[in-house]
Every structure is written in structure tokens, then in C-alpha cells.
Structure 1
Amino acid sequence: MKKLIAAMAATTALVSPAFAELELEKDELTFGFIKLTDMAPLAVAYEQGFFDDEGLFVTLEAQANWKVLLDGVIDGTLDGAHMLAGQPLAATIGYGTEAHIITPFSMDLNGNGITLSNEVWEMIKPNLPTDADGKIAHPISASHLKPVIEEFNAKGKPFNMGMVFPVSTHNYELRYWLAAGGIQPGFYSPENVTGQIGAEAFLSVTPPPQMPATLEAGTISGYCVGEPWNQQAVFKGIGVPVITDYELWKNNPEKVFGITAEFAEENPNTTLAVVKALIRAAQWLDENDNANRPEAVEILSRPDYVGADYDVIAASMTGTFEYEKGDKREVPDFNVFFRYNATYPFYSDAVWYLTQMRRWGQIAEAKPDSWYDEVAKSVYKPEIYLEAARMLVDEGLANEADFPWDSDGYKAPTPAEDIIDGIAYDGKAPNAYLESLPIGLKGEQTVVGSGVQG
């Protein structure tokens, strides 16, 4: 029934002015996603008729995991997908499955959290500082885990934590938090892709919807994941979120919409039409101070999309976040879909992901700053984004002032006070940034055997 309704809507859209402007090379599309709240622009573009307005007949299909999703885009089973920002970059440089994937649209900012098991929370809670109101002071440093890890080791137990994929934001954010607290999260090498070389905390892959059950089973003692799977731990009473990525790195980039370079080359007008619809969806999600978020939560709670309880999704999606049960705080920018140029694919965002790949050994050898710039520009495509945005402005569907027309593709450096370790980030100077990080590979260093060399 859903496909029939979409088909009827697409047929109706054939006569719309928006459709008439673009001669679509392909109008029947299938997009993949993972059951996370930040797939919202896809669901909203579908449910609010923004795809229909562009003459696009779109089918949205949930995928089992990030690898299946990426493979589907590469082999053409999927025309595009909600992706981890690291996936197009890793594929393009040949880390894992090799393919030239691009992104003309960044899907959101923030949206992740780090949750610890009840056992670990009870171990660190007595030593956490409090604020003037007697509440636990945030952000919480990972340094509080040091005695916990020592206690685990004394009992012969590894301290295990979950993240969703080796090139996920969640992997890099969890590593960033641990390293900022003086804890070594381990390295990768070409011969050993576990990411656990020299680790004090052992990170491994767990698909997002399985995070709470894996925590409850005791297989892991904490995890980093997107919503609603941190709030699910609170609702189930099995864990406590200790930090959001907004606190870790204010307004950090999250997911992207990925397509193959070949798809964009063969279907330039279709690509523009898709980006137009996604921009409109992002605007809708953030407009009027998030006034549409309750409706978005209702959409996402449906089984076709995220399929979690309305209250669990609303706990973060509507501008609040609950840490320890009952400790609900205002976090209006926990999910950002359009504000702060969230949808613009900045080269500096791509460069940050590449620095983290290098920092932890996924990029085995040192690269010059020019390499980071070249890779970023081969994957992130702001020129496509701005062309779509210009069309929306000309159609009266977007405001001129909402887009960074004069940007060179790089954000202004992120100030030290916006990042948990107090180290500023400048996307135009990746090697200097890597040198400034106390834990991680620097210069010509490589990972050999069980340690760092050089």
C-alpha cells in the first residue's frame, strides 16, 4: 500500500513546476538506512511529500548493518543511503571495500552519546564532581574510568566497550573521549584490524539496535551510539549515558547521504532533485525552534523507520536528554538537522574523519596536508549542494541567507573551548592537529606488531 501511494503521488508530481525544471534521468529510487533517529531527513522527505514534489518515486529500506548498507550502494541494489560519514571516505581511499562514494549532503550534527553499564556507573559515581545544584557536573571525563579499568584488570577481565563500525563517528568519538581522559583505546595496523593493539579499553563492533541487549548481557561495559539507543538504556534501567557528543565536540558532524560517483555522473539532475528534497526535510525538522519534532518522532517511531517507542525517541529528539534516570536536562541542539549549516558538506568535516583514521592507524602511513584536502574534495561535494540550494531559493522554498554561498568549503577552526580535550581543530592543518593530540600516531609513526614505531 505504501509503495502504491508513493507511486500515485509521484505520478501526480509529474506536472508540478519543480519537476518540470529538472529532466530526471531516473525517477524510481531505493535508499537504505539504519534504524537511528538521524535517518530522519529521509523519512521526512518521504512522508512530507518532498520527494514527490521533485517527481521522485522513492522506496526506503532498513538495512541489517552498515556493511550491508555500503555494499548495497556499491553494487547498485541501493541508489543511495544514510551513511556513516567515514564510509564514503574509507571506501574512496580503499580502507575496507574500495569504491568511489561521494556525499552532496550532510545529514545532521551531534546526536550520539556514550553509555556505561549500571555496574561501572556505580563504581565511578562517588568520585564525580557535582554542580551548585548537587547534580553530577557535566561533561564527565573518561579519566574516571581509570580505576575501574585497573579493577577489571586485577580480576583478569578486559574492559570492553561497543561502537557501531570501524569507520563510524561513534568509534572516533569513543576513542576521542577515552584518549582525552588519558586512556589508550588501541591502534589498527594493516595486519591487525581489530583496533585493539596496545589498548587499555577494548572497542568492538555492535550494531546500534543491539547495543542495549549486549550491555545488559554483560558482554560490554559501555558503548557509543546514536539515538534512541542511549535513551533506551535509561528507559530499561540497564545503563547510564554519561556524555553526549555535543558535550564532547560542540556541533560535530554526523551522518551523510552517500551515493556512488558513477550515480552522480550518470544522473546529475536526479541527484540535484534528491538533494533539494533532503534540504527541505532538514529545514522542516529544525524550523520554528523544532516545532515539528513531535510529528517527526511519531514518524520515526513507526516500524518502517526506527521502530522504538515514541517516548524513547522523544527523550532526545525534542530537545532534552536524560542521563541517570530522573536527571533530564535541556539539550536543544542534541539533534541538529539544518541550523549552523548542518547540511552543507564541509571539506573540514571530511578532513577531521581522515585525521582520526590516521591517528589510530587505519591510515597506516603519514600523508601531507595536500592529500587530506584532495581526498576531502573527491568525496564531499558542496558544489552539488549549493546548486540544489540555489534552485530552492529561486523557487521560494528556501531563504538565501541560510546557505554559505561564499565558503571555500572549510569551516572556521573549531575553538579549544568547544572540544572536551581543549585542543582546537583547523581542517586546513591536519598534520599540525595530529601533532597536538597527546595520544595517537604522529608524523612518520606506524604501528608494527604490538606497538608504535618511529
Structure 2
Amino acid sequence: MINGLEKCRIRLGMLPLVDAAPLLVARSYGFFAKHGLEVELSVERAWAALRDKVAAGVLDGGQMLAPMPIAATLGLDGFAVPMVTAMVMSLNGNSITVSKHLHARMSRHLPDVADAGAAAIALARVIEEQRASGERRPVFAHVFPFSAHHYELRMWLASADIDPDNDVQLCVVPPSQMVSELESGRIDGYCVGEPWNEVALQRGVGVAVASKHEIWNNSPEKVLGVTREWAHEHPNTHRAMVAAMIEAARWLDQPENRLEAAALMVRDSVVNAPAASIVASLRMRTGGIVFHRGAATYPWRSHAVWFILQMLRWKQCWMAPNFADVASDVYRCETYREAAALVGEPCPRAEYKSEGARHIGSSTPSTDGGSIMLGSDAMLDGSIFDAADPLGWLQLQRHGHPAVEFASLEFANVRQP
């Protein structure tokens, strides 16, 4: 054991996305080294490949979709290797993009100033026209079954009473292949992280019609994930890794550093996309990617509960687990607080919060006796999620979208947060 670390040389996986920037920054600007870590980054092309390598121990951990560790722990992903996260890597950053052809048809039903909700309603009308004329259903892609992209796409469709399982066809496509699939006509739209929406826009093959910011503002996107066994065997290494990443995220949310981070991604050829699209994706703007501000790195257990509810709502899981047990097992607030203490990072005192009702200017008490300003968390459908009553929220979704058929679920002996 060197400097108290069980393992100093670690290998972390990532996908070619701009929200992987904290990993690159932590390696290239010495944040990992400051905490005694020598880190090799492995760029993977698909989320399943990254998950499989972490599960097999080929990778020590890496960038993961926020619901991935939950699905792995619940045994829903086919591997059933329990995983945990002690840090959120980013908020926001996704968009739903449609082909120019589909957007032209939607435009006939769009007002002059259209938002995500109006775009969903316009799509519903196009689907009605296609059904009447015997055309095929639109095909929409997302990146992984257990991803915020998947649930955001379904949430957007359901907001206009479009049944995601019957009115459209959903499929999985790796992020870096989205633009080529759209351009070829094999898909009509997709939900993906940047820079692949920006690339479609700059190439003139697609139009973004809804952002994650509009669907659920400041919601979790990627997390730093490891297996439960790895976290148990390497607690000091895990804590050091999270501490370094918190510092990298803090550095990234300084406006003057975003252009430098974009240059780093271009220089290292991590993302095979035009430099202009990477720069545009990383610039700080309303609704853009958030790495640090507003307690962005904190693993709220209420977010874990929300993701479990999506798995139940969309028939990926047929029996409700004990929400509090799964949330505390997978989203490790204690490890985060220990790591944050190493770098002087204030932490929320609470582990759960409501979603959907918070406006800009809201705050939460912090462990240092102060408070932390939080960003808006409005949801497109206007719902308010209270983690203290998850099944009540799920029941409201059933009644709110009559066109969507819900699973018949078992709720025996459920312990709520």
C-alpha cells in the first residue's frame, strides 16, 4: 500500500463524448497525480463494452450512464454484477435531434416559437398522418436501455400522449454512430449526448427539437462507476479518485477553462468530431453541460429512486425493490463526503430532495453549516417528484398518460426513503 492507497495505477473507461471531460482534465492537469494516482484512460465505443470490461475487471471503473450501476445491482442488465457510484460527472448535455425530413413535416404543426413540448405535439400529429397513410412508424434511437437518454426520450414522447412502445420504434445505437444513421435514413431521430447533436446541426442533417434542460433541467447524466467489490477492496483509492474528479469538475465550471478543455479533447483526438462542434458543446450557456455548480457532483439518492421508477414504468423491472436500500447501496453519499473533505468541497446535508418544483435561487443546507445554491429542476410534464412517495408519483404517471400502457407491478413489502 503506497500513501495509504490500495492501488495507485488504475485504468478507467470513457466514451467519446464531451461530458467525459472531467476524466481527461483530472489526468492531464495533475488532479489524479495530486492524489497519488496514475490513470490510464481507455476510450470505448459503446456503453455495453465499457460495462462488460468493468464487470470483468479489465477496467477499474469509468464514466457510466447514471442508471447503469442501478440496473447492474438489480440484475436487470444480464450481467448482474453489483456496481456503485460516489460521484456524478455531469448534468444536462443531451438533446433529441430529428432528421431534416421529419422536421419539415413537424414544422407544419409548429408555432413560430416552438419549445420541446410543442415539438412533441407536432410529432404526434405527424404520427397520426403517417398512420392514416399506412407509412411506417418513426424510428428513434437512444444509447443504452438503462440510460437517462432512453427515459428522457420516453418522457418527451409521453408528454404528447405518444406511446413509445407502439407509436414509434425505439432502438439502440452507439453515440458516435448516431449522425451517420440519421443521415442514411435508417433512423428518424435520436437522443444522445454532445457533440453528436451539434455535429448533426453543423452538417445540416438534423435539427435539435428538445434538450435535456427542457425535459428535466439539471438532471444527472453520467456518473463515475466501479463494481461494489472493487469499492470494498479499494476504499482509499476510490476516495482519492472521487476527490480528484471533484477538483477536475470544479476547474471545468470556470468559464475561462471550457475553451481549454475543448482544446484538450481536440488535441488528444478523444472525440472524432470537428473541433467547432466540441467547442460549441462545451461552452457555458443556459441549459448546457454542468460539471460542478449547484452540487452537480453530489450523488443524490433521490435520483437513484427516480431511475428505479423509470425501470418500473417502462417494464424493464416487474417488481418494485426496496427503494431506500437500493439507493443507499448504489449511490454512495458517505464516500463522496469523505472525498469532498479532502478537497474542501461543501456537501449537501440531505441525501434526498424533491424534483420539479425548484426554481433558480433555491438552496440546500450544507455540512459546513452554510448552504449550497441549486439549479432549477423543472420537468417538461410539470410533475413534481417526491422521493418520500415514489409509488404515488408512479401512479400519477399512469393516470396522466392514458395512451401509455403500464406494467402490472408487484409492490409487496416496499420500503420507501
Q: Please, what TM-score do these two structures have when normalized by structure 2?
A: 0.89
Cα distance change of structure 1 residues 117 and 442 upon mapping to structure 2, 3 Å threshold = closer
Separation of aligned partners in 2, 1:210 and 1:357 = 25
Between the two proteins, what is the percent identity of the paired residues?
41
Task: Count residues in correspondence.
Answer: 386
Separation of aligned partners in 2, 1:413 and 1:123 = 34
2:27 is aligned with 1:70: no
SS at 2:387's partner residue?
Answer: coil
Residue type of the alignment partner of 1:99: V
**Bigger Rg over Cα:** 1
- Give 1:309 shift: 1.9
Separation of aligned partners in 1, 2:245 and 2:80 = 26
Separation of aligned partners in 2, 1:88 and 1:364 = 18
Q: 2:125 maps to which residue?
A: 147
Stretches of structure 1 that go unaligned for 5 or more consecutive residues are 1-18, 187-198, 320-330, 447-454
- Give 1:43 shift: 0.7
Separation of aligned partners in 1, 2:134 and 2:405 = 30
Report if the CA contact (8 A) 1:140-1:243 is conserved.
no
- Give 1:108 shift: 0.9
Q: 2:146 maps to which residue?
A: 167
- Give 1:149 shift: 1.5
Q: 1:350 maps to which residue?
A: 304
Superposed, 1:56-135 pairs within 5 Å as 56-96=37-77, 97-131=79-113
Separation of aligned partners in 1, 2:405 and 2:294 = 31
SS at 2:5's partner residue?
Answer: coil
Report if the CA contact (8 A) 2:106-2:119 is conserved.
no
Report if the CA contact (8 A) 1:361-1:441 is conserved.
no
Residue type of the alignment partner of 2:328: K
Residue type of the alignment partner of 2:153: L
Q: 1:242 maps to which residue?
A: 209
Of 388, 391, 395, 1:428 maps to 388
Query: Deviation digits for residues 65-112 of structure 1, max 9, x if unmatched?
Result: 111100100110000010011110001000022011000111111110
Separation of aligned partners in 2, 1:147 and 1:415 = 30
Cα distance change of structure 1 residues 113 and 373 upon mapping to structure 2, 3 Å threshold = same
Of 347, 350, 361, 1:403 maps to 347
The runs of 4+ residues in structure 1 deviating greater than 6 Å are none
Separation of aligned partners in 2, 1:208 and 1:296 = 20
Residue type of the alignment partner of 1:152: Q
Report if the CA contact (8 A) 2:300-2:333 is conserved.
yes
Separation of aligned partners in 2, 1:442 and 1:357 = 11
Q: 2:354 maps to which residue?
A: 412
Q: Please, what TM-score do these two structures have when normalized by structure 1?
A: 0.82
- Give 1:142 shift: 0.8
Separation of aligned partners in 2, 1:436 and 1:291 = 44
Residue type of the alignment partner of 1:90: A
Report if the CA contact (8 A) 2:314-2:407 is conserved.
no
Report if the CA contact (8 A) 1:435-1:442 is conserved.
no
Residue type of the alignment partner of 1:403: C
Q: 1:258 maps to which residue?
A: 225
Residue type of the alignment partner of 1:178: L
Cα distance change of structure 1 residues 26 and 304 upon mapping to structure 2, 3 Å threshold = farther
Report if the CA contact (8 A) 2:312-2:409 is conserved.
no
Separation of aligned partners in 2, 1:304 and 1:78 = 21
Query: Deviation digits for residues 317-364 of structure 1, max 9, x if unmatched?
Result: 103xxxxxxxxxxx3341000011110001011111111000000011
Separation of aligned partners in 1, 2:287 and 2:115 = 19
Superposed, 1:275-294 pairs within 5 Å as 275-287=242-254, 290-294=255-259
Separation of aligned partners in 1, 2:106 and 2:276 = 28
Cα distance change of structure 1 residues 443 and 219 upon mapping to structure 2, 3 Å threshold = closer
SS at 2:294's partner residue?
Answer: helix
